Structure 1
């Protein structure tokens, strides 16, 4: 019988493997195209999308190590498309029998803590967490494009809920959000320069069009896998959208719940105005990133009219016409 390697030899071997992987990753990162960003450490072109440079190692770790379960529910989105809001809705739907609406963790925790981002939190600092102890269904979120999700997500029966927002309001919301960072305040970027980058696709998790169309295509070809929601539809009829969402993720409302007004109660709790006024969403800080209050601003449809000039609109409209032509996807730009 062969002798097993001693603990010290095994440890040395493991350290050498980790060191080799670290060197390979550093060489990869050094070889990728890079662009300056109006906030943060810039963006790096990886698998045809512009990934925030500070998150790229986390994204790669997520791709290499995450093993999806069929019961997982994953919220996907482009930044500033209604992510924080939809997390609150999904968490409340899934946990409605575990927590009363008067004792829900939403009252004391921002929804990013309850539905963590893969690339910001779960695989933070390139760590490989043990997720086996998490209760089912596990709730996660990501800004990573569909084509770059781990194969285990694409090939499992887990459900993906994607929320998109019209490009004008998405851009303005990104601009206001980024302006809260010290990097932005020292960068000297203008809104017009950001519009240019947005139209070139060189912004966080961009291009905007390929991100949206990737999930849109999958939702049309595999509607049992991906539910495609629009921010503007949530604003127009939240109660109806909550029922649709609950059905899709496998937590439909019973007739008795509907008679008791449970759907309407969740709709009231998860309205943007109520969530925005919760103390937890007005104070405190999410991780090492932004103050919680940054995640809820106006939330209006059509606020772009107060920020975008005619020349900016011309560039954006040209991009939209070119990139979304014949896709079957359209956007709502004005208040519902």
Structure 2
């Protein structure tokens, strides 16, 4: 039996709903996926083997993944690649090329991923996999950096990306996408369950999981960058601090810098999705330009109910 026929058999047995990012989403282990990412997830569970010094960026989709991919790459590779180098890899390749999504790799590619010319430097992967579905080896080895975002901005980014990327057979209306999102059938959703899973992991295993938010990084980039470096076991030296290295990394990875790079303005990511669609806005509170007051209130209400008693607050 071929890989594709096995997936088709699985899909036929799973709960199915209309998708925001695909014609249909399928529920697997409590979360919703399109066929491509579901196949990638299953491949990971069956074949991926984490290394002790691997770093995994896990995100709730459309939460600033591209931005933190760039930051992680620049931070981890800062000794080999100065952020001021005019030939820095982030000026030559997209963050998605340098930090690939696990679910979009073939199993034969896993062991050949290198985010650096220095083999002693950590491999960096990204994924949208919920805690309940993580491959066992990732739970046991490496470090996980988790990023989330205000739910309202997450939804708006989700909606725009779906239509602009033409990943559905036909565009989806804001109202239809909103209803599906609230039901939890967004990519790797329900988003609230995805976030809570990693929030709890970060409390139980703070040495394994670092929980970050888009808004915190935006508000206090230096503080959060130091926190990230410390978590990864690569704290900034006093010399690096004095040289302005943090400012250099922040500038290199900023929305303004990344969005104007030719490599991010042209070409495609994984098929027909244009690279420039990953640099739409980057503004905290952009939801105000898209959602009605009733929509915003409903998302806030669901978020408050879902996170009640967890100690987690997202604004």
TM-score by length of 2: 0.93
Instruction: Give 1:39 deviation, angstroms.
Output: 3.1
Query: Residue 146 of structure 2: SS of its match in structure 1?
Result: strand
* Selected match of 2:98 from 96, 114, 118: 114
Report the equivalent of 2:207. Answer: 224
After superposition, give the CA deviation of every residue in 1:271-319 in whole Å (9 maximum; x if it has no partner).
Answer: 2221122222222212314111100111111111111112212321231
1:294 matched to 2:277: yes
- 1:283/1:331 Cα in 2 relative to 1: closer, same or farther (>3 Å)? same
User: Which residue of 173, 196, 203 corresponds with 2:157?
Assistant: 173
CA contact (8 A) 2:31 2:188 kept: yes
Question: Equivalent residue for 1:78?
Answer: 60
Between structure 1 and structure 2, the one with the greater Rg is 1
User: Which residue in the other structure is 2:237 paired with?
Assistant: 254
CA contact (8 A) 1:75 1:162 kept: yes
Q: CA deviation at 1:22?
A: 6.4
8 Å CA contact retained: 1:75, 1:141: yes
Q: Which residue does 2:299 correspond to in 1?
A: 316
The TM-score with structure 1 as length reference comes to: 0.87
How many angstroms apart in 1 are the aligned matches of 2:171 and 2:225? 41
Partner SS for 1:81: coil
CA contact (8 A) 1:38 1:187 kept: no
CA distance 1:275–1:326, change in 2 (3 Å): same
In the TM superposition, residue 321 of structure 1 has moved relative to its aligned partner by: 2.2
Match of 1:244 among 211, 227, 231: 227
Say which SS state the counterpart of residue 273 (structure 2) adopts: coil
Taking the aligned partners of 2:269 and 2:4, their CA distance within structure 1 comes to 28
Q: What's 1:129 paired with?
A: 109
Over the residues paired in the alignment, what is the CA RMSD in angstroms? Answer: 1.8
Q: Of the candidates 177, 184, 197, which is equivalent to residue 194 of structure 1?
A: 177
Which structure has more RCO (C-alpha within 8 Å, separation ≥ 6)?
Answer: 2
Could you tell me which of 9, 18, 23 is aligned with 1:36?
18
SS at match of 1:129: helix
How many pairs were matched up? 308
Instruction: Look up the match of 1:140.
Output: 125
Q: Contact 2:128–2:188 (CA<8 Å) still a contact in 1?
A: yes
2: CA distance, partners of 1:174 / 1:51: 14
Deviation at 1:183, TM superposition (A): 4.5
The answer as to 2:53 corresponding to 1:68 is no
Note if contact 2:71-2:253 (Cα within 8 Å) is conserved in structure 1: yes
From 129, 134, 139, the equivalent of 1:149 is 134
Distance 2:7 2:21 in 1: 24
Partner of 1:235: 218
For residues 287 and 113 of structure 2, what CA distance do their matches in structure 1 show?
44
Q: Deviations over 1:159-207 (max 9, x none)?
A: 00001000000000111111113354x5352111111111110111100
For residues 16-36 of structure 1, what are the alpha-carbon distances to aligned partners after superposition, in whole Å with 9 as ceiling and x for unaligned?
A: xxx287665443221011111
Change (3 A) 1:192 1:132: closer
Unpaired runs of 5+ residues, structure 1, are: 1-18
Distance in 2, matches of 1:226 and 1:319, equals 25
Distance 1:324 1:215 in 2: 12
The aligned counterpart of 2:310 is 327
